[in-house]
A and B are shown apart, each in its own frame.
Chain A
Amino acid sequence: MEFAWTPEHRAFRQRLRDVLAANLPDNWPVVSNGYDNGSDASVAFSRKFCPILAEEGLLIPHWPKENGGGGLDAFHHWILGEEMWGVGEPRAYQYMSINWVGPAIIKFGTPEQQAEHLPRICGGTISYCQGFSEPGAGSDLAALRTRAEPTGDGRYIVNGQKIWTSAASFADACILLARTGAERHAGISMFIVPMDLPGITVRVIPGMQGERAMHEVFFDDVEVGPECLLGTENGGWKVATEVLANERIGVPRYALTWRGFNKALEHLRLDGRLENAAIRARAARCEAALKAARLAALGVINARIHHRPADVSVNVARYAAVWADRQVVEFLGDFAGDLLFYDVDAVVTAAYKRATSIGIGAGAAEVQLNLVSRNLLQMPRGNA
C-alpha cells in the first residue's frame, strides 16, 4: 500500500492549477453566480474553456490514446475532477461527457457513433444531458415508462417524459433510457438523441441547486433513427448500469465541500470562534469524514487502475461521501449560519448549497445502502 501521489500526479495537479489561474475570470465565484455551473456565465465560459483544456491535453488525460485521450492512469482523471469540482466546475456539465457518456460510447457504441461523438467530446465541443429519471421512476429506475416504439424499419418513435434532467436546456444531445419491450430490465434501450429533434420540449424547473440544474423533458412522437441506439435493442439496462457505476464515483463531490468547509474555518478562526473547543472538535470530525470519503473514492479509482470491474465498493464510497457532506452541512448550520450568504462568502455558500443534493442525485443514499446490504453483506430479500 502506498498513500502518496507520484511526482507525475503532483505535476499534473500543478498544471491544472496553472491553467485555471491563467483562464478563470477574476472573481470567478461571484461571476459564476456562486459556482453555479448551469448559470449563463458558467456555460458560456465552459464552451471557451473546454477546448482550451483539450488543447493543453488536460480534458481527457485518462482515456486510451486510441480514443483521443492522453493514456494516463485513472488517478489523473480523479485529480482533474478534484481540481475542477473544487472551483465550481468550470467545465459546466461537460464533466458528464468525460466521466460516463464517453466511456459508454467507447464500450457500447458503433464505429459510426464513436466517429461522430468521441472527437467532439475530446475537443470539448459537445455537452450531454441524461434522460433517466421520470415522474414515476427515480430510485426505482427500471419502472421507467417513456416508450421508444420500433417502426419496423430500424427507426423508433419516442413518447414520454423525463424529469430532474440537468443541463437539458443547453445540452446538444441526451442519453435517453426508453422502454422498447415489456420486460422490466430487459425491455429497456439506450439512445443518444440530438436535443434539436422535432417533438422535444424542455421546461426549466427552478431549483435550490442552481440554474438549469433540473428540467422536465417531453418527448412527443420524436422520431429517432437506428444510428441513435446505443448498444442493442432491449440491452439498455447494461449500458445504464455501467453509466451509473461511473456516475456514482465520477465526481469528487467532496472537493467543493472540503474547500468550502476550509474556507469557513478561516472565517471562524479570524473571528475567534474556532478557539471554542467544541467547535474545534466538530471541525476535526468533519475533516475525518471528508478524508474517509476521499480515501474510499480513491480506492474505487485504484480498482479501476488494477482493471477490476466496478463492484459494491462504489456504493460504499458513495455513502461515505454522503456522510461527509452531511457532517459538513450540519457543522456549517450549527456554527456558521452567518456565512451562508453569497455576499458574505460565495464559496462557502456554494459548498453548503451543493452538499444538500449529494444524497439524492445519481441514486439516493438509501439505494446505496440497499446495494451494500445486498452485494456486500449478502442479506436476504424480504417482504418489508
Chain B
Amino acid sequence: MRTEFRLSGSGGQGLLLAGIVLAEAAILDGKNAVQTQSYGPEARGGASKAEVVISESDIDYPKATDPDYLLALTAEAYRTYGKLMGKGLIILDSSVEATADIAARTVRVPILDTAATVIGKKVVANIVALGVLAGLSGIVKPATLELAVRNRVPQGTEDLNLQALRQGFELAAAAKVAT
C-alpha cells in the first residue's frame, strides 16, 4: 500500500522539514519512505512543496502521483494543488476559504492560528501541521513521530516542537469528529 502526502505552502514555512520528519518517522516504524521537494528561487515566500511517499514495500517512483493527503497552508497552494486532487483528502488551513470548484474532500484546520496563538510561535506551524497530518492519516505511531521530531529539530527547541506536535494531534482528533 502506497500512501502519498503533498505538503504545500510558501517558502519559509518549514514544510520541507515537516516532510523529512514524517519520512523519518515512517522509517523508524520499519516502513519505506521517500521524500522529495520542489522549490523556486525564493528562500522565503514563493510556492514550496514537499512530498512524502510511504509504503510497506519497495517505492519505485518517488513523487506523489495522486496524493492521499494534501496539506495546503496558503490560498495559492490550495488553488494550485487542490484542483489536482482525486481520491485524497485536503487539509486546508482555516485562514483559506474553500472554494466550490475544488471538489475533493476537505477539512479546514486552524494550523497557523494554533501555532501563533496557542503555542505563541508562528514558526512551529510546520510541526502543528505534521501532527494534523499524522493524526488524520494514522500513518506513523505518535511516539515514533515524537522521536523523529526530537532528531530533526534544532537543539533547544525540542520541547516547543513536541508541544506543537501534540496540538496538531488534538486538532486532528477534533477534525475527525467534525468530518
Are the chains A and B members of one assembly? no
